[in-house]
Structure 1
Amino acid sequence: MLESLQGSVGRQQNRELRGNDVYTMWGGITEIHRNLSEQEIAQLTSWLLRRTPRLNTSVPKLVEPAKEADIRLNEVPRQKITKMGAREHVDRFFDDGTLRLGTVRDFARQEHNEIGDGQEDAPIVIIGERIGYTAAGSFEGGHEHYVFCTFLGEPSVEILEAFEYDSYYEITDPAGFSNAVGNAIGSRHADFGRCVYAPYRALQGLVADSFTMRRIDHRTMEMVGEGRNYVKSLPYVHQKELRFTWRMKMEVGAPRLVKCPEAIQFAKRID
């Protein structure tokens, strides 16, 4: 079995994996019918990163992936959720509910030091687990989400200046806000959660008992839920981002202005 395992985890890592592993390869994606140790997860993550374009620069032999559990998807935080922006845009939101929804492709193209992040639309390595089962692969595409970025806590003067903003407001009911915007744009699914910041785009999480690799398409990326949309580069950790995402029926590229007066009731002015 070790000879076959070379195709899924690489020669360098095979010495650390047991020879009686039962696994299957589906279109370059790995299935191993047992759970891996933390070191094996780190080895597998490193190997996948090194074979993935845009992610394969200066990757060490062991890489600990970000944890889906740390995103705390749809869990209301104790801190305030604040939205920073230009005063004219804040005024417009409280006037008629106008919001600008971004996309990862738009963020990747932005040149602003705080708003832009060239890794937002990069591929991602995903490790999914359940009892007695591990699935892993590197994925790209599937950019079907509109994104709304907020800040956890009260932004300092320094943070506002870094973004070149002069106003902000609080989202008092994130679930209500998320549902209102989702209804306005006809999204298929809505989430909010904390971004996790990591040196490499890799995420480890749980897969459902019903998950299977026998149907390989862009939906395979969802094997750890929507968490892949919340992994950000480590240099942006100071942004303390809580992100709202709305999945649409098709891929989206350009940002979108939407009027959602129903969302105003779930927010309040601070300044």
Structure 2
Amino acid sequence: MSEIPEQDRVKLRPPPHMVTLQFGSQWNVVTPAVYRYEDQRWIDEFFDTGKLRLSTFAKFATYEDEVRGDKNEGQGFCYGETSDNKSVVVMQSQGINAAVLCCSHRLCQDLQHGFQRNSAFQITNTVGFSLEISRQLAGFRNGIEGSCIYRSDATISRAIDFDFEKYKLPDGNLDMQMVADASTQLGGPELLLLKRKRYERQQEYRLLWEIDTIGADYVDVVAPLARQFCRKVEAEDWGG
């Protein structure tokens, strides 16, 4: 049997990760393998030791360039309207104490240059990876992952079931507890994943860990077991 030429060999890679749900019948969700753009020295350090630096929304606001910088991450107006045409508008901020790792569905040189990084690695199982990171974060509370939602503005509009009358005080004013309760109804994961449409070409996939408190605009974590869910991007992966 003749040897398969190098250029024709199929590179062995992990199969797609799949989450199985049970609700009467089985339903499978294939999670994406995503790319994290980073400088090669930090990628090598991660694969050697498991050390990884996570960013924050506060850090994103400090970048001056239009590719990485975004002063509005985790913030937006939430507009709720009741069936009797009453409305409430709440300005919300989420992710203040969140460590974030921004990845992308895309692997391309343009994004690499835009992010000002010289390499990338792939996370082949985002659920397993995120779980191992969470186990090494002091004060970890909860987490979320998902594809970013791109819109022309950061307004979240929803129909809500809300009784304004119960918040009326004897003097005719409204109890400010109404704002907190409205925020709960209008809340959810959207603000954590919402980005302006001008960033849409990045096709971002975001991993986010909420922790008790963050003392800086980054969080360094050492999670050696997270490496099993990653692989280095090879030169041929970039394509032409």
TM category, shorter: 0.5 to 0.7
| 1:178 pairs with 2:141 | no
1:150–1:158 CA distance, 2 compared to 1 (3 A): same
Q: Deviations over 1:57-93 (max 9, x none)?
A: xxxxxxxxxxxxxxxxxx6545x31111100111111
**2:207 corresponding residue in structure 1:** 244
Contact 1:83 1:168 in 2 (8 A): yes
CA distance in 2 between counterparts of 1:106 and 1:234 reads 20
Secondary structure at the aligned position of 1:184 is classed as coil
Q: Which one of 35, 38, 50 corresponds to residue 97 of structure 1?
A: 50
The two structures have a TM-score, normalised by structure 1, of: 0.61
| 1:168 pairs with 2:97 | no
Contact 1:204 1:224 in 2 (8 A): no
Matches for 1:126-205 after TM superposition, within 5 Å: 126-127=78-79, 136-142=88-94, 143-153=96-106, 155-185=107-137, 186-204=139-157
CA distance in 1 between counterparts of 2:130 and 2:212 reads 17
In our comparison, the structure showing a higher alpha carbon Rg is 2
Secondary structure at the aligned position of 2:44 is classed as helix
CA distance in 1 between counterparts of 2:180 and 2:97 reads 14
Contact 1:126 1:221 in 2 (8 A): no
Matches for 1:4-43 after TM superposition, within 5 Å: none
CA distance in 1 between counterparts of 2:197 and 2:39 reads 26
CA distance in 2 between counterparts of 1:224 and 1:189 reads 16
| 1:227 pairs with 2:190 | yes
CA distance in 2 between counterparts of 1:247 and 1:117 reads 19
CA distance in 1 between counterparts of 2:105 and 2:144 reads 16
What percentage of aligned pairs have identical amino acids? 23
CA distance in 2 between counterparts of 1:135 and 1:251 reads 35
1 or 2, which has the higher strand percentage? 2
Q: Compute the RMSD of aligned alpha carbons.
A: 3.3
- Name the aligned partner's letter for residue 115 of structure 1: R
Which deviates the most, 173-182 or 217-226?
Answer: 217-226
Secondary structure at the aligned position of 2:136 is classed as helix
- Listed as ranges, the gaps of 5+ residues in structure 2 are 1-28, 168-176, 235-240
1 or 2, which has the higher helix percentage? 1
Query: Comparing both chains, which one has the higher relative contact order based on Cα–Cα distances under 8 Å and sequence gaps of 6 or more?
Result: 2
Aligned length: 192
TM superposition shift of 1:252: 6.0
Contact 1:141 1:218 in 2 (8 A): no
1:149–1:189 CA distance, 2 compared to 1 (3 A): same
| 1:108 pairs with 2:61 | yes
